[in-house]
Structure formats: structure tokens, C-alpha cells
Amino acid sequence: MRTLTEDQVEIGSVLPELSIDLTPTVVVSTALATMDFTPVHHDVGIARAQGSKDIFLNILTTMGLVERYVTDWAGPGAVIRRINVKLGVPAYAGDRLSFNGTIVSREAAEFTVEVRGKVSLGDHATGTITLTFPEAS
């Protein structure tokens, strides 16, 4: 499996977009896989009664998808050191979550990627991921 090495990454590198169709199955299966049984993530009746449009992604999943977005691109050799996310609008079932990212800085071996996850209502999550890459062989 392809993995990026340090020398293949530079500031300004743009990550390919990842777009995820947020079916109810995605919302529910990720909520349960993250052990989050809060009803607004699987029970549409309760979600609507609380003023939400539909069930929506839980935060543990947002963190997981941000991580996946970056490692999908970086490959299995990358090591994630930090994920800082500012939470925005909810990501409802039926919407589409699209991630974009750019490498913005490097400090010693640690690279920082700025990530933005958008849904139709606006930014669902914005933030940075810091990671290291294997050295060039």
C-alpha cells in the first residue's frame, strides 16, 4: 500500500477531496462503533423532537473521519499526533460531508494539515491534524 514519505510532502500540498454520503446507515453504524448510544444519533423521532432536522453524526465519528481523511492520503506509514477540531453545523443524515485539506506548516518532523469538513449547511468541522511521515528510504 502506498505511503507518503517526508520528502514527498511539502507545505501547500493539497489533499484530494473526500466526500462521504451520510446515509442513515453511516450515521447509525458509526455512532454504535464509537459506543455512543445517545438517541439523537440513531432515533430520528427523538432527534426531531429535540429540534434537529434528522439524526446526525456524533463527535467521536467526526474525529474518526478527520483522521481517516488524512491517513487515506498519507498512507499507513503516517502517525497521527494531534487532532484539533472546531465544531460547526450538524452533519445530518441525508447530507454529504466533503473534506478538503492543505499542508500548512512543518515543525521538525511534524507536519500540520488544515482540514475542513463541509456539509450543505456550512462547515461541520474545521481544524488541524498534526502527523509525521516515514523518512525517505
Rounded least distance, CB 119 to another protein, Å:
9
Q: Is 20 in the site for another protein (CB under 8 A)?
A: yes
Question: What's the CA dihedral at 106, 108, 109, 112 to 10 degrees?
Answer: -20
Rounded least distance, CB 7 to another protein, Å:
18
User: x/- string (CB under 8 A) for another protein, residues 109-128?
Assistant: -------x---xxxx-----
Neighbours of 106 (CB within 10 A): 14
Rounded least distance, CB 9 to another protein, Å:
13
Phi-psi label, residue 62: left if phi above 0, alpha if psi -120 to 50, beta otherwise: alpha
Judged by CB under 8 A, the number of residues near another protein is 60
Give how far the C-alpha of residue 17 lies from the chain's centroid of Cα atoms, to the nearest Å: 11
Rounded least distance, CB 71 to another protein, Å:
5
Site for another protein in 61-80 (CB under 8 A): 61-68, 71-72, 76-77, 80
Grouping H, G, I as helix, E, B as strand and the rest as coil, residue 73 is: helix
User: Which residue blocks in 1-137 are alpha helix, DSSP H?
Assistant: 24-33, 44-49, 59-74
Q: Which residues bind another protein (CB under 8 A)?
A: 1, 12, 14-17, 20, 26, 29-30, 32-38, 40-41, 47, 50-53, 56, 58-68, 71-72, 76-77, 80-91, 98, 100, 102, 116, 120-123
